[in-house]
Structure formats: C-alpha cells, structure tokens
C-alpha cells in the first residue's frame, strides 16, 4: 500500500480499529457510562411515521433531496428556534446529518490550514479530531461553573493582537449542560461572549444538543437569541430529543453562509426519508409530549446517579447539572483518572477519563491543575436505574482499591 500518498490529516491516524464500545457490540454485563447513548425505552414509536413517509410521501422519501434540506422541516425548525427567542427563517437553516456533520461543514466554511479556533478546557472531545483534521490550531480557554471564561478569551485575543497574530476563526462552545462538565453558562457571560466576538469579528459556534433536556431552573437565552450581528452559528440536533440513529441535525446562520455551506456539502442532501419522519413527528404534536417524557426520564437517571455517587464515591466533587446527560467527577488531586477508567473498563464499567476532554494542556477548570488528570465523566443516559446503582457500586470498589 502506498503510504506516501496519504494526506497529512490521514497519515498520522491510528490504523487500529477501536475497541467495542457501542451497546450493541458489548457483552450484556458491561455497563455503559461512557457515551451519550439514548435510553432505549425513551426512543419514540415511529413506525407509523415511517410507513407514511414510504407511502404518502414515497417519491420524496426515496428521491434525492434538496441540499439545504426539506423546506417544511427547515420552516418547522425556524419556528422552533423563534419560539426560543431567535429571529430566523427557513433560509437560515441547513439540514445536516447530525450536529457533528454540521460542525464539519462549519469547519469547511471557515478554516484554512494554520488557522486557529478556541475551545473550552475541557470541551466535547469528539470535536477535537474534527478541528485538527482541518490543520487548525486548537486554543483553550478556561471553563468554570458559570461557563466559558470570557475574561480569559478577551486576554487571549489581546495577546494575539499584541503579537500580530491573526485572531481565531471561531469560538466553539456548548452553553447549555456543557459536555463534559454539565455546567450552564450564565446570561452575563453569554452577553459578554457575544459582545466580545461581535466586536472582534470572531464567529461563535454554539453547539446546543441538550437545550431542551432541562430538568431544573429557568432556560437562559441561547447565544443565537442574543446575536444581533450574525456572529453566532448555531448547531442543533434531533439526536437527544428524538433519536440519534436518525442522524438529522441543523446549522442556523446567515443565509449567505448557508448558501456557501450547501455547496461544500458532498452528501447530496440529508436523507429525505428520515427528514419526513422527523417533520411529521414534530408537527403531529407528539414531539412536545415526547420532550416532556425525555426530560422526566433523564431527570430520574440524573437523580439516581447523583444519589449513588454521593453515597458510594463521596470523595468525588460534583456540580449538580440542571440538565443534559453527564456527571463530571473530580477526585482529590493526585488521583489518576486515566488509570481509573482503564481499571473500570477491565471490570466492565465503561467511563471516560477527564483527560480525553482537553485539546491542550488544560488547567482552566477550577479544581484541576493539568489536563483534569483526577477527573472522569459518567453518562447517566443509557443505563437502567438498577444498572446505574450497580455501575457506581462497581466503580466504588475499584476506587477503594486504587485509593488504598
């Protein structure tokens, strides 16, 4: 095989296939606290919608679709966002194959090799290789219980300007129930972020998959709702509210950006069959009832895991999240989160080490010095309540051995 022909972005990648990780690949006794899988029993009943898509909308569902996405679904999404304080129309919406695909398209739109962008420390780890595949430098700013540290971002911009270096192309941020920490950015920080980036001409990529997975507290306006200058490119998804397997999400941005992204999209349009299922589900009234169910189910899961962690792993510091899928556990300094995750996997509990969520040296998260070496992230979304208890108990036994 001609290795020399590989692009730089591919040459350095591992050739090993990843260890089994998806629930369908795992032994039944492996407890999956690692990724944001949906709770199987909360996946909605969509059979009738699928039959309808293949009968009443047969040609539309089986034909090539418009690259921007179904006009009806885009219109519904615009209405959904406007009910949440935004001012967008169907022209601002591009349907993508999930949020990750949307983020990939934004990178195609904005990044040249050697450009930089900003993420929080820690950040959603799946984005890091996407950003790096564009040859971009990933810069970090701190993150605390109030969200991204806008003061650090302003200081970073000032340092770059003083050095005559170009500012980052965008700031990537998860403002609601941040992955991995669960924190929600305050309104004051959101306003400051939008104002700073608008002033400096830096885009903000607002990735907001968990917005409606809120259990407690009042919703804070999205960055897109605060945006007056088309600084914010919003990414949404149906993965957390309907089903991740349908692979439908969207990007909301100025129509001129959408028109360009459409031409950079090589998938021939997102699947029209799944777009039709989602559109009919959403407009049937089933969607809102389902969101209420999703909130109730994951709230119960969060509460169960919080109780179990407080009981069985009392040395872990946790900030109770108001929504989302994750708990971030900080163990006392010196504890080795990587070793803990490896040992847990060997004992059939899959968790993610905190170090996975840092693009660089980290250090921004308040209880951590260094790349969150003493932290781990647990997801409460997928497992049953009984298995949440069992998994945390197993983790406690491993922790006790390691701490000893």
The residues that touch ligand PLP, with contacts defined as CB under 6 A, are 36, 98-100, 124, 174, 179, 207, 209, 237, 239, 244, 249
Question: CA dihedral defined by 78, 238, 99, 245, rounded to 10 degrees?
Answer: -150
What does 293-334 look like in DSSP terms, one character per residue? Answer: HHHHHHHHHHHHHHHHHHHH-TT-B-PPPSBSSEEEEEPPTT
> Do residues 238 and 80 lie in contact, with contact meaning Cβ atoms separated by under 8 Å?
no
CA 86 – CA 79 distance, rounded (Å): 9
- Comparing CB distances to ligand PLP, the nearer of 32 and 174 is 174
CA 217 – CA 211 distance, rounded (Å): 12
- Comparing CB distances to ligand PLP, the nearer of 206 and 280 is 206
Angle at CA of residue 366, ends 299 and 128, nearest 5°: 75
Minimal distance in Å, beta carbon 44 to ligand PLP?
A: 16
Minimal distance in Å, beta carbon 37 to ligand PLP?
A: 9
Minimal distance in Å, beta carbon 364 to ligand PLP?
A: 17
CA 286 – CA 46 distance, rounded (Å): 10
- Comparing CB distances to ligand PLP, the nearer of 233 and 398 is 233
- Comparing CB distances to ligand PLP, the nearer of 182 and 209 is 209
> Do residues 119 and 100 lie in contact, with contact meaning Cβ atoms separated by under 8 Å?
no
Minimal distance in Å, beta carbon 124 to ligand PLP?
A: 4
Minimal distance in Å, beta carbon 248 to ligand PLP?
A: 8
- Comparing CB distances to ligand PLP, the nearer of 244 and 321 is 244
Minimal distance in Å, beta carbon 391 to ligand PLP?
A: 19
- Comparing CB distances to ligand PLP, the nearer of 179 and 368 is 179
Minimal distance in Å, beta carbon 12 to ligand PLP?
A: 24
Q: How far apart are the first and last CA of the chain?
A: 49
Angstrom CA distances, 248 to 112, 174, 274, 320, stand at: 26, 18, 8, 29
> Do residues 129 and 351 lie in contact, with contact meaning Cβ atoms separated by under 8 Å?
no
Q: Where are the beta strands (DSSP E) in 184-246?
A: 203-207, 232-237
If DSSP codes are grouped into helix, strand and coil, which group holds residue 159? helix
What does 75-139 look like in DSSP terms, one character per residue? Answer: HHHHHHHHTTT----GGGEEEESSHHHHHHHHHHHH--TT-EEEEEES--TTHHHHHHTTT-EEE
- Comparing CB distances to ligand PLP, the nearer of 175 and 392 is 175
- The token pair at 98 is 């999930």
Minimal distance in Å, beta carbon 330 to ligand PLP?
A: 20
Minimal distance in Å, beta carbon 197 to ligand PLP?
A: 19
- Comparing CB distances to ligand PLP, the nearer of 329 and 398 is 329
- Comparing CB distances to ligand PLP, the nearer of 96 and 398 is 96
């Amino acid at each position: 095989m001609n290795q020399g022909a590989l692009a730089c972005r591919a040459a350095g990648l591992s050739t090993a296939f990843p260890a089994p990780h998806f629930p369908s690949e795992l032994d039944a006794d492996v407890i999956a606290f690692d990724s944001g899988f949906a709770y199987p029993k909360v996946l909605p009943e969509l059979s009738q919608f699928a039959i309808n898509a293949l009968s009443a909308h047969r040609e539309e569902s089986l034909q090539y679709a418009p690259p921007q996405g179904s006009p009806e679904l885009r219109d519904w999404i615009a209405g959904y966002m406007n009910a949440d304080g935004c001012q967008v129309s169907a022209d601002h919406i591009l349907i993508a194959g999930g949020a990750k695909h949307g983020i990939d398209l934004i990178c195609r739109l904005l990044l040249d090799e050697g450009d930089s962008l900003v993420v929080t420390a820690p950040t959603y780890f799946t984005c890091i290789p996407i950003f790096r595949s564009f040859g971009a430098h990933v810069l970090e700013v701190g993150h605390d219980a109030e969200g991204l540290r806008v003061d650090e971002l302003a200081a970073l911009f000032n340092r770059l300007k003083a050095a005559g270096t170009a500012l980052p192309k965008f700031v990537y941020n998860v403002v609601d129930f941040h992955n991995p920490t669960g924190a929600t950015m305050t309104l004051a920080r959101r306003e400051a972020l939008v104002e700073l980036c608008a002033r400096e001409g830096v885009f903000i990529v607002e990735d907001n998959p968990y917005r409606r997975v809120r259990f407690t507290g009042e919703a804070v306006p999205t960055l897109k709702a605060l945006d007056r200058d088309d600084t914010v490119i919003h990414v949404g998804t149906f993965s957390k509210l309907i089903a991740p397997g349908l692979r439908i999400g969207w990007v909301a941005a100025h129509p001129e950006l959408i028109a360009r992204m459409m031409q950079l999209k090589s998938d021939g349009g997102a699947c029209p069959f799944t777009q039709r299922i989602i559109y009919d589900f959403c407009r049937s009234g089933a969607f809102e009832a389902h969101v209420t169910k999703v909130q109730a189910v994951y709230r119960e899961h969060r509460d169960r895991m919080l109780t179990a962690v407080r009981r069985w792993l009392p040395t872990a510091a946790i900030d109770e999240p108001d929504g989302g899928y994750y708990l971030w556990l900080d163990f006392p300094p010196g504890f080795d989160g990587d070793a803990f995750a490896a040992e847990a996997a060997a004992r059939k509990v899959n968790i993610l080490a905190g170090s996975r969520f840092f693009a660089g040296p980290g250090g921004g998260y308040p209880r951590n010095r260094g790349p969150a070496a003493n932290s781990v992230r647990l997801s409460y979304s997928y497992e049953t309540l009984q298995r949440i208890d069992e998994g945390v108990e197993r983790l406690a036994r491993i922790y006790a051995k390691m701490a000893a």
